[in-house]
C-alpha cells in the first residue's frame, strides 16, 4: 500500500508565523529557493512528544541561513515554540520534524538580495529511514564526491548540497543497494548521502573528521555516549583501503538514528558489542525527556 503524497495529507503546517491547512502550504513556482537552491532545512525527531536536541537544530538552521547569506526572521526561541506547537498540533508522539527556510519569489535571477525569507515547519510520522534497518544496510561506493570546503558551504544544511546526494542514492538504489558511501575531494571516506559514518576496529570507534561535511548532531551525541562508556573514539582521516580492517560499521543521523551497515561494496560487516551498546544508549538518550 503506497502512502499519500506529501502534498495531499491532512494536518497543519506552520508557515511564516501561522498554521495553514496542510494542503494549502504551497509556494509559487517562481520561487528563488526552487530555482537556485537558496533553501536551508533541518531534520529532527520527536520522541514521546519532545524533540531531541531541538535547540541545537534551531541554532543550526540559523547557522545554515547565515552561511547562505541570509538571516531568519524568527529567533531561536520563536522557532523552538513553533516547532513544539507543530508537534503538539500533529497529535503525534513520535514524529519527524522538518523546519526550513527559503528565499521567496520577489525577484528572479541569481541575485536575490531583497527576496523575502520564508520559514515553515511540518511534522509527520516517519518510521525507520531504512526499512529493516536492524538487518544492516548495504552501501555502494558513490559515483559523486563531497565538494572541497572552498567550493561550497559544506557546514550548511543547504538544499544545494543534496543534489549529489540524491544522484548517489538513486545510483545505489538502482544497483540494489540501500545507500551510497561518499568520498571527499581528497579520496577520504566522508559520509553516506544523509548520515555520518562510524567504524569499529579492535573495540575502538573511528569516524572521519567532519571537515567537508556536516558534523551531525547524532554523530556528536554518539561520540559523547561512546566516551561515557569508556569506548575510545578517534576522529581522523579514513581511507577506503582501510575498510577491510573494520569489524562493525554504522550510520548516524536524525532520520537514520543509528543504522547498522552490513556491507560496503562487497566487504561484509556485522553489528557487534559496540554497535549494540550504542544503539541501547541512544535509545535511552532519545526517550529521556529532553526538555533541557
Ligand atoms: N550528513 C548529511 C548529508 C545529512 O543530511 C545528515 C542529516 N541531517 C547528517 C549528516 C547527520 O546529521 P544529524 O545527525 O544532525 O541529523
What's the confidence (pLDDT) of residue 1?
Answer: 47
Check pocket membership of 216 for ligand 1, CB cut-off 6 A. yes
How many C-alpha atoms does 214 have within 13 Å on its Cβ side?
29
Check pocket membership of 254 for ligand 1, CB cut-off 6 A. yes
What's the confidence (pLDDT) of residue 132?
Answer: 84
Catalytic hit among 15, 83, 157, 169? 157
Distance 149 CA to ligand 1 centre (A): 17
Count of other CB atoms within 10 angstroms of residue 61? 26
* 3-state class (DSSP) for residue 82: helix
The structure's pTM equals 0.96
Torsion sign (Cα): 207, 211, 212, 218:
positive
Check pocket membership of 253 for ligand 1, CB cut-off 6 A. yes
Residue intervals of the chain classified under CATH 3.20.10.10 are 133-286
pLDDT along the chain (292 residues), means of 10: 87 98 98 98 97 98 98 98 98 97 98 98 93 92 98 97 98 98 98 98 98 98 98 98 98 97 96 96 86 42
What's the confidence (pLDDT) of residue 79?
Answer: 98
Cα-Cα-Cα-Cα dihedral of 44, 48, 49, 54, to 10°? -40
Distance 241 CA to ligand 1 centre (A): 24
What's the confidence (pLDDT) of residue 291?
Answer: 42
Q: Which of 218, 251, 256, 278 to mutate to test the pocket of ligand 1 (most atoms within 8 A of CB)?
A: 218
* 3-state class (DSSP) for residue 225: helix
Active site residue 116: no
What's the confidence (pLDDT) of residue 290?
Answer: 52
How is residue 274 written as a grid cell?
559496540
> CATH number of the domain at 12-124, please?
3.30.470.10
Strand extents, DSSP E, the chain: 12-15, 18-21, 39-47, 50-51, 95-103, 117-124, 137-141, 179-183, 189-191, 196-201, 204-208, 233-236, 248-253, 257-264, 267-268
Distance 163 CA to ligand 1 centre (A): 15
Give tens-digit pLDDT for 111-139. Answer: 999 999 999 999 999 988 988 888 899 99
* 3-state class (DSSP) for residue 282: helix
Pick the atom of ligand 1 nearest to 162's CA. Answer: 3
Check pocket membership of 223 for ligand 1, CB cut-off 6 A. no
Distance 107 CA to ligand 1 centre (A): 31
Q: From atom 4 of ligand 1, which residue's Cα is the shortest distance away?
A: 194
Pick the atom of ligand 1 nearest to 213's CA. Answer: 1
Q: Which one, of 228, 231, 279, lies nearest residue 251 by Cα?
A: 279
Distance 165 CA to ligand 1 centre (A): 11
Residue 134 gets which letter from DSSP? G
> CATH number of the domain at 133-286, please?
3.20.10.10
Q: Which of 98, 216, 223, 258 to mutate to test the pocket of ligand 1 (most atoms within 8 A of CB)?
A: 216
What's the confidence (pLDDT) of residue 208?
Answer: 98
Distance 106 CA to ligand 1 centre (A): 31
Residue intervals of the chain classified under CATH 3.30.470.10 are 12-124
Question: Under a CB-based contact definition with an 8 Å cutoff, are residues 86 and 123 in contact?
Answer: yes
Check pocket membership of 208 for ligand 1, CB cut-off 6 A. no
Amino acid at each position: 500500500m503506497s502512502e499519500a503524497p506529501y502534498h495531499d495529507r491532512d494536518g497543519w503546517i506552520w508557515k511564516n508565523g501561522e498554521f495553514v491547512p496542510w494542503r494549502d502550504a504551497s509556494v509559487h513556482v517562481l520561487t528563488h529557493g526552487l530555482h537556485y537552491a537558496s533553501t536551508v532545512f533541518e531534520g529532527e525527531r520527536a520522541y514521546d512528544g519532545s524533540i531531541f536536541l531541538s535547540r541545537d537544530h534551531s541554532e543550526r538552521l540559523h547557522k545554515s541561513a547565515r552561511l547562505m547569506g541570509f538571516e531568519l526572521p524568527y529567533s531561536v526561541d520563536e522557532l523552538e515554540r513553533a516547532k513544539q506547537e507543530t508537534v503538539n498540533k500533529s497529535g503525534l508522539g513520535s514524529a519527524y520534524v522538518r523546519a526550513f527556510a527559503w528565499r521567496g519569489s520577489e525577484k528572479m535571477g541569481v541575485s536575490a538580495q531583497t527576496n523575502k525569507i520564508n520559514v515553515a515547519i511540518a511534522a509527520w510520522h516517519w518510521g525507520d529511514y531504512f526499512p529493516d534497518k536492524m538487518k544492516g544496510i548495504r552501501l555502494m561506493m558513490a559515483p559523486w564526491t563531497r565538494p572541497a570546503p572552498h567550493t561550497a558551504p559544506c557546514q550548511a544544511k543547504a538544499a544545494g548540497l543534496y543534489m549529489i546526494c540524491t544522484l548517489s542514492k538513486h545510483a545505489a538504489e538502482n544497483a540494489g543497494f540501500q545507500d551510497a558511501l561518499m568520498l571527499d575531494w581528497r579520496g577520504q571516506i566522508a559520509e553516506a548521502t544523509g548520515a555520518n559514518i562510524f567504524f569499529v576496529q579492535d573495540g575502538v570507534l573511528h569516524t572521519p573528521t567532519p571537515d567537508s561535511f556536516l558534523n551531525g548532531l547524532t554523530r556528536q551525541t554518539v561520540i559523547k555516549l561512546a566516551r561515557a562508556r569508556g569506548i575510545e573514539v578517534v576522529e581522523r582521516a579514513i581511507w577506503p583501503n582501510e575498510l577491510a580492517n573494520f569489524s562493525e560499521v554504522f550510520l548516524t543521523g536524525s532520520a537514520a538514528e543509528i543504522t547498522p551497515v552490513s556491507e560496503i561494496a562487497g566487504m561484509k560487516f556485522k553489528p557487534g558489542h559496540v554497535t549494540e551498546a550504542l544503539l541501547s544508549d541512544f535509545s535511552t538518550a532519545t526517550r529521556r525527556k529532553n526538555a533541557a
